[in-house]
Amino acid sequence: MLTQKTIDIVKSTAPVIAAAGPAVTQHFYQRMFRHNPELKDIFNMSNQQNRDNDDPSSQQQALFNAVCAYANNIDNLAVLLPAVEKIAQKHTSFLISADQYQIVGSHLLATIDELLSPGQEVLDAWAEAYGVLANIFINREQEIYQENDNKAGGWRGMREFVVTEKQQNSDVITSFTFTPADRGQVADYKPGQYLGIYVTADELEHQEIRQYSLSAAPNNANYRISVKRESQGLVSNYLHDKINIGDKVKLVAPAGDFFLNVEPQTPVTLISAGVGLTPMLAMLETLTQHQAAVNWLHATENGHQHAYKDHIKTLANHHQHITALTWYNAPTATDRPAEDYDYQGLLELNNIAAQISDPTMHFYCCGPIGFMQFIAKQLIELGVTSDRIHYECFGPHKVL
């Protein structure tokens, strides 16, 4: 437990660190990668790149927000538990170890000292506070590692899989199915969770680790992910261009705190844009036997980018409790209204307000941050309470 003196010092100095802005985390990452370059094989270096010279990277901003949140709630750590769970789940996908927490802590304290020179008493207080937080993460992550290892078909660390299917779903999205090289069972997972994939190749400067949402319901035999080709995406382009049927990849057990969690009688609406449909697809396939209404609401640019169109239509046609609606932002001349898509333009929920008005309905959302903010605002205006809105960000987490 933290002493009251430590709590007081951390809370009193937190505004000083906040005032320093993301310069703290920029300095931290630069320092850490300079002294421990091996960590470049763990961190997503793409998230370290600034979008312009004035804005911090998404990863740096996420760390800055986390440091401020911890300091401001150091006397009420229960408030942070949801964030701890989200980060701990992600860390297990990177196989983070206790030793790495020591490395991060040493560079964080050195950064505070080098930028702010707060004195030894302040540094000691922050060291104590960091130690408590690190132990919370270490203990929770050890639990997750053990849970994954104890599952039927589960494992800890990396496991070799074979690509047994590669299917192009749209102009930009391709699906990959992985089957264990040892021909054993695969661990179950919760619809909405993601899979960690480790990529090492001559054309890549560092080992690259990515998490991709599982895009099919659990089946105990294999895993499927559906990957969007990003113009600057090192791993997405490598998967699309280089990985083929028969190739072997190394995977880490499924993880994530975003997953379907409703009672059989609870109505559900799944809302997605673009490749955000991937976790929604795993949920939808799981909900085919659901006892309440299920809405599938998907937005995409046009038919060229519309993945799994026929599959979704088949599920809706074969299960009366499922309603599927699609929005095309800019239909092409060959896209057919009422056949390929239902609405043109942005996904406006007012068009279907009556269909989503059940006060017990839960909403799961995934897509670009701007899209999810747009949806969350509409849901709140329609009277949906925040406890019924669940969402996933691809990349560092942000609050809607």
Beta bridge partners of 209: 198
Q: Can you tell me the distance from the alpha carbon of 340 to that of 349, in angstroms, rounded to the nearest whole number?
A: 19
Distance CA 342, CA 172 (A): 21
CA dist 346 → 175, 306, 338, 342 (Å): 26, 15, 16, 12
Q: Is residue 254 annotated as involved in ligand binding? A: no
Q: Which residues contact 26 (CB under 8 A, 6 or more apart)?
A: 56, 60
For residue 396, say whether it is annotated as part of any ligand binding site: yes
Q: Is 29 annotated as a binding residue?
A: no
Quote the CA–CA distance of 7 and 74 in Å, as a whole number. 7
Is 275 within any annotated ligand binding site?
A: yes
368 annotated ligand-binding residue? no
Determine if residue 206 is labeled as part of a ligand binding site. Answer: no
- For the chain, how big is the Rg over CA atoms in Å? 22
| 118 has binding-site annotation | no
Give dist(CA 191, CA 351) in Å, integer.
28
Judge whether 394 is annotated as a binding position.
Answer: yes
Q: If we measure between CA atoms, which residue out of 327, 357, 304 comes closest to residue 170?
A: 304
As to burial, measured by CB atoms within 10 angstroms (0-12 exposed, 13-18 middle, 19+ buried), residue 250 is middle
DSSP, residue by residue, 327-374: EESS--TTPPBTTTBSEESS--GGGGGGGG--TT-EEEEES-HHHHHH
Give the torsion sign (CA, 323, 296, 293, 192). positive
> Which tokens is 394 given?
């691809």
Contact 49, 57 (CB under 8 A): yes
Residues with a catalytic annotation lie at 101, 141
What's the token pair of residue 120?
Answer: 């030894």
Measure the CA–CA gap between 326 and 313, rounded to whole angstroms.
10
Cα separations (Å) of 348 from 298, 322, 344, 359, 379? Answer: 11, 19, 10, 19, 10
Question: Which H or E run includes 141?
Answer: helix 120-150
According to the annotation, is 279 in a ligand binding site? yes
Are 385 and 391 in contact by the 8 Å Cβ rule? The answer is no
CA 169 to chain CA centroid, nearest Å: 21
Instruction: Check: CB of residue 174 under 8 Å from CB of residue 166.
Output: yes
Any binding-site annotation on 100? Answer: no
Annotated binding site: 91, 194, 210-213, 274-279, 393-396
Annotated binding site for NADP(+): 274-279
Q: Which residues are annotated as a binding site for heme b?
A: 91
Residues annotated within a binding site for FAD: 194, 210-213, 393-396
